[in-house]
């Protein structure tokens, strides 16, 4: 019978569990800080990398500890098991995206207009150090997008550019994107309307930038949208899914609101202004008549007195 008091704890088993706990805690702290605060994304990405390396080291040390325990009869099986299983559990959720990464193209910028993508202006100043370039990438992105997302095309509306821009604003509010700037289109001088906004991924809170361009005439409008990741080389299809959600919401808005209803508030205010101008004109005419009436009455009385004197 073996006396367990004389057995030794495998040193590597303890180190395996310690490294695993530290790596998992680093991952959790990085996610919470980045999602709920203004924690810089580059720093959070570095924490994730350190956590991944630490988890791999914990697994390696844990396997060596298990080999020592099996060969020499050391204690520490539970610690070694923690060192191996905890990193696997911590990285199980990110590993579920591996099939998506293999299925989707390695791009991070998607647009409905591949020949002249909408450009970032205000959001350009909000991109920090280490962020992806704001300019649309090379032609390779366009080729990859056409193969993977052929359904992403310019949205055509049989409405004026002003009405289309109002529909765009309604759709963005419905999607709860954070609007940075919204400039409606102008007819004179001709200028396309632009809306820039940001959106965050659900769990980690990575920020993606969106720009929407609305241009056209009084009867027809073109809506183009672009969604780009600030950081990372692979978006796992998130930008394409975001563009699809926007186009679907925009179509639903266009189907549910009649063309006259979109500009209803503007038409109502115009009608009220017209009624107000008509009333003011009538009041001026009435005041002018009232001012002339006393003068006319005095002249008539004077002529009547002259005739009686004759």
Give residue 263's pLDDT band: very low, low, confident or very high (50, 70, 90). very low
State the pLDDT at residue 276. 57
140: exposed, middle or buried (Cβ count in 10 Å: 0-12, 13-18, 19+): exposed
pLDDT at residue number 71 = 83
Mean pLDDT of 24-45: 92
Name the strand (E) or helix (H) holding 116.
none
* Contact present, 144 and 105 (Cβ < 8 Å): yes
What pLDDT is stored for residue 215 in this prediction? Answer: 95
d(CA 121, CA 85): 47
Q: Which tens digit of pLDDT belongs to each residue from 20-33?
A: 999 999 999 999 99
- DSSP SS3 for 228: strand
Nearest to 158 by CA among 246, 223, 243: 223
Let me know: does 19 contact 61? Beta carbons within 8 Å.
Answer: yes
Q: What is the pLDDT of residue 127?
A: 84
Residues in Cβ contact with 122 at an 8 Å cutoff, skipping those fewer than 6 apart: 180, 181, 196
Return d(Cα 75, Cα 4) in angstroms, integer.
8
Listed in order, strand segments (DSSP E) in 29-79 are: none
pLDDT at 280: 66
Count of C-beta atoms within a 10 Å radius of residue 148: 16
Separation of alpha carbons 9 and 14, rounded Å: 8
C-alpha–C-alpha distance, residues 238 and 205, integer Å? 12
Determine the average pLDDT of the residues in 153-171: 94
Give the H or E element holding residue 85.
helix 77-90
pTM: 0.75
Residue 80 to residue 11: CA distance in whole angstroms = 10
pLDDT band at 250 (very low <50, low <70, confident <90, very high): very high
Written as six digits, the tokens of 263 are: 């500009």
Q: Which residue has the higher pLDDT, 209 or 75?
A: 209
More confident residue, 281 or 127: 127
Rounded average pLDDT over 277-296? 58
pLDDT value at 275 more than 90? no
Q: What is the pLDDT of residue 139?
A: 83
Report residue 125 as tokens: 């100043």
φ, ψ for residue 30, nearest 5 deg: -65, -40
Contact 192, 213 (CB under 8 A): yes
**What is the band of 137 on the pLDDT scale with cuts at 50, 70, 90?**
confident
283-289 average pLDDT score: 63
Q: How confident is the model over 225-236, as a mean pLDDT? A: 94
Lowest mean pLDDT among 117-131, 230-244, 287-301: 287-301
- pLDDT category at 268 given cuts 50, 70, 90 is very low
Q: Assess whether pLDDT exceeds 50 at residue 76.
A: yes
pLDDT 10s digits, 83-93: 999 999 998 88
Q: 5 falls in which pLDDT band (50, 70, 90)?
A: very low
Asked if 110 contacts 146 with a C-beta cutoff of 8 angstroms, the reply is no
CATH 3.30.310.80 fits 109-262, yes or no: yes
Which among 89-103, 150-164, 248-262, 264-278 has the top mean pLDDT?
150-164
H or E, element range at 115? none
């Amino acid at each position: 019978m073996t006396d367990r008091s004389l057995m030794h704890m495998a040193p590597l088993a303890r180190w395996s569990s310690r490294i695993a706990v530290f790596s998992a805690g680093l991952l959790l702290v990085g996610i919470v800080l980045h999602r709920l605060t203004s924690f810089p994304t580059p720093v959070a990405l570095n924490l994730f990398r350190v956590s991944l390396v630490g988890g791999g080291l914990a697994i390696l040390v844990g396997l060596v500890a298990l080999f020592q325990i099996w060969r020499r009869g050391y204690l520490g099986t539970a610690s070694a098991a923690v060192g191996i299983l905890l990193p696997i559990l911590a990285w199980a959720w990110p590993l579920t995206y591996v099939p998506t990464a293999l299925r989707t193209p390695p791009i991070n910028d998607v647009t409905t207009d591949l020949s002249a993508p909408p450009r970032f202006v205000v959001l350009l100043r909000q991109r920090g150090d280490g962020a992806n370039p704001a300019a649309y990438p090379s032609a390779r992105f366009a080729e990859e997008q056409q193969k993977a997302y052929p359904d992403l095309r310019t949205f055509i509306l049989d409405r004026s550019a002003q009405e289309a821009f109002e529909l765009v604003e309604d759709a963005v509010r419905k999607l709860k994107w954070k609007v940075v700037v919204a400039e409606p289109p102008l007819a004179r001088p001709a200028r396309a309307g632009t809306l820039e906004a940001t959106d965050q991924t659900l769990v980690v809170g990575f920020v993606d930038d969106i720009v929407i361009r609305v241009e056209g005439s009084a009867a027809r409008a073109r809506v183009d949208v672009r969604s780009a990741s600030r950081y990372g080389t692979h978006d796992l299809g998130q930008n394409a899914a975001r563009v699809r959600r926007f186009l679907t919401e925009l179509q639903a808005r266009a189907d549910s609101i009649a063309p006259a209803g979109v500009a209803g508030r503007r038409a109502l205010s115009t009608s009220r202004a017209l009624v107000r101008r008509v009333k003011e004109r009538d009041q001026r005419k009435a005041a002018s008549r009232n001012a002339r009436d006393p003068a006319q009455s005095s002249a008539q009385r004077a002529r009547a007195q002259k005739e009686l004197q004759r």
